[in-house]
Amino acid sequence: MRVIAVSASTFHKDRVASLNAGCVEHLSKPVKRDILLHALEQHLALKWRYTQPLKTEFRSAIDNPPLNIEQRTQLLSLLENGEIVKVTEYLDQLAHQKPPPSDITTLLEFA
């Protein structure tokens, strides 16, 4: 098991203590997203797939509503089952709806 320590401490001695305790990395809070993703990629042999943010026009909430309850339920089911590839495929499918849900850009950034 690989452990990445996350601590509010920025002192060198605390970083060394984490590494001596068996952690593979020590990140100081607040953790920046890009640093966390890099540490996960490095220590878990991950390869990130990035998508370009969608360019959407401004629309009112009436014209461009957020995910509906069925879409949220489907997304939650995929997440709970750990179907990461299917999550990104489902979000991509939703992004190409006319009109796409208003919160799809944010969801794609997290995917």
What's the count of helices (H) and strands (E) in the chain, helices before strands? 5, 2
pLDDT at 16 over 60: yes
For the whole model, what pTM was predicted?
A: 0.43
Domain definitions of the chain by residue range? 4-44, 49-111
Structure-block tokens of residue 51: 């998508």
How is the chain split among helix, strand and coil, in percent rounded to 5? 45, 5, 45
Contact, 94 vs 104, CB < 8 A? yes
Percent of the chain with pLDDT over 90: 17
pLDDT for res 58: 45
